[in-house]
């Protein structure tokens, strides 16, 4: 308590600075109050303009090699195994057509025999996926890998050359040419004596699942304690509370989701050292026109810019045309608007890829383990991803050139003495050879968050500013309270994890109908706690401040705090709900998990939308006051700004997109005026940016772009179907790979949305 009073005293001092009109800041406050709306608007516009300007050549930089040890392209190429690459290619195709036509399996025997004949150390690796939403569905897979042991080294470092295996019946482009090229490169590299690092040749099954399992096994992240039981990643952590305890009595066969039981990576029989870099090959045919270099990884993580740059530059050297999104190496670059437009579309392409946080190739899962990796994807004239301009005029590539490029890349990586640490890890690419560094793009996000913080500040000063001189002190007390409530809030949010799990499990198990009761119960206990604290806080000002005899403080910390807590608990519950929904759906309704998860989330959202406005009125005797509402919106603004900044630090695209979408809502949310039309527009905006609604609308519009001939109803239908799929993917990715998007949407965006909805649905007493 001593500390508390100390804190309050210091707060009084700082507030004195802010609120004391004698100090000369009153003018500032007045101007702030007057111009903050246009200023916020300006900041918003400024941020967006800033972002789009970055695509201009004057505002971004040319890529360069920061790591001198790479020495790219210094050696003369020797690769001449294109003949054997062609053989491998035709043999593999033959093998697949003969034996694997009807199955999706990976030709383990063929791969093992080919790699053994190349005198690699060959191993196979089995893994199992217990599909978390599939009610006991199990997928099995096998990876094959061969290790080239570098001579005169003790296998301390390694490079990986990977290729996913895709069966003939796969809807995606095949990767036979990639595997053939990999084997030919292995044949070429095996007799060389200059390797300083082992090279691991890896063929994975089931796309990203295989590589995830292999990487987890390589780093010993098996769930059984036999190998490793220090908790490494946060998402790897077993739940703090044993859910079984709560679920046992209610549902006998209901097992709570446990990530560690989800993907069983198995064990590896052979290993090399620390992996420094990886290249993933996706070539369906050797006669590709150009190579797309894919960089975006899990949660928008990017490989070191040096590696990306290396690949681009060495493609140029080997005579292979390459591209990144809408930037094509063979198109002449001017300084005109067309270059700018290409830059913008390239950057926007990168942003959309990063928002989803889904790796667009097998390289994306390496990043989590601190391994730099990119995917080289071969593309034809008529590629699924869209036709590139003038691609038909390009001469088709062949195994020789691809092999030469690969050789150059690996010899350059072989030169690396230190692991990639120079150059940039956070950047955006505006073209294959132009980049925007973190220092250049962060200001745009900061401007957006600055707009929110500015709005918070102006609300703050308007809450405490009162023309009545007598009231100033009293108001400062109010603010003091609100501040301490803020402190408490923070504490609560910190403590939330512990409490929330209990609450959650109870609530979720009890069924959705019991929601209100459980809500009622939980905060009651907390409220008591709060009440005591509040009294203590209340007592202090009364001691110090003798002037305000009657304490008609119209701010209730407890209510604000409890509301925030409950809202975030709902978010946390929503985050953990898909497993529950899919269970209910499969057990009682017999529907697909994607349907049950989607409708479960929709119903939850609707329920919350209907019920949450009453939450503000539940535990109070007097109606909510203007100031209270302002304080809530201040907290809301602070939370949103902080969240966007934090997310943006890790995944700029996601943070930026969230800020762009939610800043307008955050700015308009506030104490409602009289105008009904305005309120309606605000509420409509709020509904529109609800995560699910926004996703549906975006996907409907996207389907409109893809299928312009359909009518509005068809568009909506497609949008809904796409949303069901998207939600399911996000949930599964979050569970299997540790993708954040679903977690961010439910535990950060959803609660803030609820709070803003509450504010918009509340009318204030006069």
Partner 1 sequence: MIGGVPPPDPGGGYVSDQNSNNIPSPMDMDSTRPSRKRQIEHSHLAPRSLREVMSRFQVEELHLTLTEGQWRHKQWGYPVLDAAPGAELYAWFSPEVTNIDNQWKKLTSTLAGLFCASLNFIENQNTINPQMSLWPSGATEHLSNSSSYLRYASLPREIVCTENLTPWKKLLPCESSHGFSSLLNSRLIHNTNYHSVGVHVRKICANTACTETFIEIKQTVALVYDFKILNSINWSFKLLFGQGLLGGCPLASSSKIYIDITSNSTTHFKLTPPPNKIVESHRGGSEVTLAIYEIKPDTAMLNIAAKQGTNNRVILNIPPPLYFNRYVLGYGKEFGGIVTEIVNNYWAPIDIVLSENAPWWLPIQLSTLRINGKAKSKLVMGQYYSPGRSRQKPYHLELLLRLPPKSTTTVTIDFEFVFLKWQEYPPDANHGFYIGSALITANLPTAKNFTGLPIEGVTFDSIFNASKPWYPAVFRTNGAMVSLPTPDFSMPYNVICLACTVVALAFGPLHNICTKELVLKATGAPLGLRQKLINLFKKKQD
What residues make contact with partner 1 under the rule CB under 8 A? 119, 121, 149, 151-157, 190-193, 219-221, 224-230, 232-233, 270-271, 273-274, 368-370, 417-419, 421-422
CA distance 730 to 741: 7
CB 125 within 8 Å of CB 217: yes
Q: Which is nearer to partner 1, 114 or 476 (CB)?
A: 114
Q: Which is nearer to partner 1, 220 or 613 (CB)?
A: 220
Q: Which is nearer to partner 1, 269 or 521 (CB)?
A: 269
Alpha-carbon distances of 694 from 313, 601, 690, 753, rounded to whole Å = 40, 14, 6, 12
Alpha-carbon distances of 261 from 224, 576, 578, 587, 721, rounded to whole Å = 9, 16, 17, 21, 30
Question: What three-state secondary structure class fits 117?
Answer: helix
Q: Which is nearer to partner 1, 140 or 269 (CB)?
A: 269
Residues 6+ apart with CB under 8 A from 477: 541, 545, 548, 553
Q: Least separation, in Å, of the C-beta of 194 and partner 1?
A: 10
Q: Least separation, in Å, of the C-beta of 156 and partner 1?
A: 4
Q: Least separation, in Å, of the C-beta of 732 and partner 1?
A: 23
Q: Which is nearer to partner 1, 88 or 420 (CB)?
A: 420
For tokens 């046992």, the residue is 248
Q: Least separation, in Å, of the C-beta of 215 and partner 1?
A: 9
Q: Which is nearer to partner 1, 69 or 706 (CB)?
A: 69
Q: Which is nearer to partner 1, 234 or 550 (CB)?
A: 234
Q: Least separation, in Å, of the C-beta of 648 and partner 1?
A: 22
Question: What three-state secondary structure class fits 241?
Answer: coil
Q: Least separation, in Å, of the C-beta of 295 and partner 1?
A: 20
The secondary structure of residue 588, as a DSSP letter, is I
For tokens 């990986």, the residue is 160
CA distance 145 to 200: 7
Q: Least separation, in Å, of the C-beta of 201 and partner 1?
A: 15
CA distance 746 to 577: 10
Q: Least separation, in Å, of the C-beta of 683 and partner 1?
A: 45
C-alpha torsion sign, points 68, 69, 72, 74? positive
**Any idea what the Cα angle at residue 172 is, between residues 167 and 176, rounded to 5°?**
50
Q: Least separation, in Å, of the C-beta of 63 and partner 1?
A: 18
CA distance 314 to 282: 17
Alpha-carbon distances of 180 from 79, 190, 402, rounded to whole Å = 14, 15, 11
Pairing of strands 434-437, 61-62: antiparallel
* Alpha-helical regions (H) of 106-175: 108-117
Q: Least separation, in Å, of the C-beta of 305 and partner 1?
A: 15
Q: Dihedral of the CA atoms 276, 126, 164, 180 (nearest 10)?
A: 90
Q: Least separation, in Å, of the C-beta of 371 and partner 1?
A: 9
Q: Which is nearer to partner 1, 170 or 227 (CB)?
A: 227
* Alpha-helical regions (H) of 545-592: 557-584
CA distance 588 to 422: 55
Tokens of 294: 């894919």
Given 3-state DSSP classes, what are the helix, strand and coil percentages for the chain, each rounded to the nearest 5? 60, 10, 30
CA 106 to chain centre: 31
Tokens of 342: 């290409």
CB 396 within 8 Å of CB 285: no
Q: Which is nearer to partner 1, 224 or 517 (CB)?
A: 224
Q: Least separation, in Å, of the C-beta of 719 and partner 1?
A: 39
Q: Which is nearer to partner 1, 57 or 190 (CB)?
A: 190
Residues 6+ apart with CB under 8 A from 97: 168
Q: Least separation, in Å, of the C-beta of 213 and partner 1?
A: 15
Q: Least separation, in Å, of the C-beta of 733 and partner 1?
A: 20
Q: Which is nearer to partner 1, 25 or 155 (CB)?
A: 155
Q: Which is nearer to partner 1, 218 or 750 (CB)?
A: 218
Q: Which is nearer to partner 1, 149 or 173 (CB)?
A: 149
User: Which burial class, exposed, middle or buried, applies to 33 when counting CB atoms under 10 A from its CB (0-12, 13-18, 19+)?
Assistant: middle
Q: Least separation, in Å, of the C-beta of 297 and partner 1?
A: 14
Q: Which is nearer to partner 1, 193 or 547 (CB)?
A: 193
Long-range contacts of 530-538 (CB under 8 A, 24+ apart): 530/488, 530/557, 530/558, 530/561, 530/562, 531/558, 533/488, 534/558, 536/1, 537/4, 537/8, 537/480, 537/481, 537/484, 538/481
Q: Which is nearer to partner 1, 94 or 117 (CB)?
A: 117
Q: Which is nearer to partner 1, 368 or 488 (CB)?
A: 368
CB 648 within 8 Å of CB 659: yes
Q: Least separation, in Å, of the C-beta of 360 and partner 1?
A: 22
Q: Least separation, in Å, of the C-beta of 148 and partner 1?
A: 10
Q: Least separation, in Å, of the C-beta of 227 and partner 1?
A: 6
Q: Which is nearer to partner 1, 42 or 232 (CB)?
A: 232
Residue 140, strand partner residues:
128
Q: Which is nearer to partner 1, 267 or 602 (CB)?
A: 267
Long-range contacts of 149-156 (CB under 8 A, 24+ apart): 149/121, 149/198, 149/272, 150/195, 150/196, 150/197, 150/198, 150/199, 151/193, 151/195, 153/195, 153/196, 153/197, 153/198, 155/198, 155/272, 155/273, 156/273, 156/274
How many CA atoms lie within 13 Å of 516's alpha carbon, on the beta-carbon side?
A: 11
Residues 6+ apart with CB under 8 A from 336: none
């Amino acid at each position: 308590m001593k500390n508390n009073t100390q804190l309050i005293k210091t707060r009084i001092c700082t507030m004195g600075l802010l609120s004391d009109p004698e100090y000369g800041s009153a003018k500032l406050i007045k101007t702030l109050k007057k111009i903050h709306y246009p200023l916020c608007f300006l900041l918003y516009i400024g941020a967006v303009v800033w972002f789009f300007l970055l695509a201009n050549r004057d505002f971004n930089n040319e890529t360069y090699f920061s790591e001198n040890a790479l020495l790219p392209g210094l050696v003369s190429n020797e690769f001449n195994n294109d003949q054997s690459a062609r053989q491998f290619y035709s043999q593999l195709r033959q093998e697949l057509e003969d034996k694997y036509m009807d199955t999706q399996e990976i030709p383990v025997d063929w791969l093992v025999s080919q790699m053994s004949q190349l005198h690699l150390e060959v191993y196979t690796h089995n893994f199992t996926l217990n599909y978390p939403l599939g009610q006991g569905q199990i997928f099995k897979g096998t990876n094959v890998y061969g290790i080239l042991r570098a001579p005169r080294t003790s296998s301390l470092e390694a490079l990986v050359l990977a290729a996913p295996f895709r069966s003939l019946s796969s809807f995606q482009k095949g990767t036979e040419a990639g595997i053939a090229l990999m084997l030919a490169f292995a044949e070429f590299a095996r007799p060389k004596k200059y390797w300083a690092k082992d090279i691991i040749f890896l063929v994975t099954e089931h796309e990203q699942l295989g590589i995830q399992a292999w990487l987890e096994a390589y780093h010993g992240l098996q769930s059984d304690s036999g190998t490793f039981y220090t908790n490494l990643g946060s998402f790897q952590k077993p739940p703090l509370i044993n859910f079984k305890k709560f679920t046992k009595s209610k549902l006998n066969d209901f097992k709570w989701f446990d990530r560690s039981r989800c993907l069983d990576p198995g064990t590896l029989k052979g290993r090399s050292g620390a992996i420094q870099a990886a290249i993933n090959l996706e070539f369906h045919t050797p006669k590709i026109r150009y190579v797309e270099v894919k960089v975006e990884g899990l949660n928008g993580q990017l490989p070191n810019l040096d590696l990306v740059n290396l690949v681009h530059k060495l493609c140029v050297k080997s005579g292979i045309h390459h591209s990144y999104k809408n930037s094509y190496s063979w198109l002449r670059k001017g300084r005109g608007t067309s270059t700018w437009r290409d830059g913008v579309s390239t950057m926007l392409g990168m942003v959309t890829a990063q928002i989803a946080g889904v790796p667009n190739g097998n390289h994306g899962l390496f990043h989590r383990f601190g391994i730099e990796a990119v995917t080289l994807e071969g593309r034809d004239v008529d590629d699924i991803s869209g036709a590139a301009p003038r691609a038909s005029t390009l001469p088709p590539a062949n195994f020789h050139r691809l092999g030469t490029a690969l050789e150059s890349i690996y010899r350059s990586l072989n030169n690396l003495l230190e692991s990639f640490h120079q150059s940039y890890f956070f950047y955006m690419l505006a073209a294959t050879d132009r980049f925007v560094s973190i220092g250049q793009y962060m200001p745009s996000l900061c401007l957006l968050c600055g707009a929110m913080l500015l709005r918070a500040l102006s609300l703050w000063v308007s809450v405490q500013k009162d023309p009545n001189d007598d009231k100033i002190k009293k108001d400062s007390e109010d603010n003091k309270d609100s501040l301490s409530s803020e402190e408490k809030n923070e504490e609560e949010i910190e403590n939330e994890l512990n409490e929330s799990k209990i609450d959650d499990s109870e609530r979720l198990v009890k069924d959705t109908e019991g929601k209100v009761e459980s809500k009622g119960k939980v905060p009651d206990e907390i409220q008591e706690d709060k009440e005591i604290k509040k009294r203590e806080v209340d007592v202090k000002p009364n001691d110090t401040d003798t002037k305000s005899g009657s304490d008609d403080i119209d701010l209730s910390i407890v209510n604000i705090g409890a509301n925030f807590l409950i809202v975030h608990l709902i978010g946390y519950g929503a985050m953990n709900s898909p497993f529950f929904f899919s269970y209910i759906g499969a057990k009682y309704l017999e529907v697909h998990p994607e349907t049950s998860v989607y409708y479960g989330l929709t119903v939850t959202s609707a329920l919350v939308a209907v019920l949450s406005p009453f939450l503000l009125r539940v535990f109070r005797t007097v109606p909510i006051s203007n100031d209270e509402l302002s304080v809530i919106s201040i907290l809301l603004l602070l939370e949103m700004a902080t969240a966007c900044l934090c997310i943006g630090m890790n995944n700029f695209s996601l943070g930026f997109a969230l800020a762009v979408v939610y800043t307008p809502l955050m700015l308009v949310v506030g104490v409602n005026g009289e105008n009904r039309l305005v309120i309606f527009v605000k509420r409509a905006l709020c509904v529109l940016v609800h995560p699910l609604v926004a996703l549906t609308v975006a996907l409907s519009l996207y389907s409109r772009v893809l299928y312009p001939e359909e009518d509005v109803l068809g568009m909506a239908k497609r949008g809904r179907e796409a949303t069901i799929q998207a939600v399911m993917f996000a949930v599964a990715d979050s569970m299997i790979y540790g993708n954040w998007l679903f977690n961010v949407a439910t535990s950060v965006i959803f609660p803030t949305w609820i709070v803003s909805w509450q504010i918009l649905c509340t009318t204030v007493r006069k």
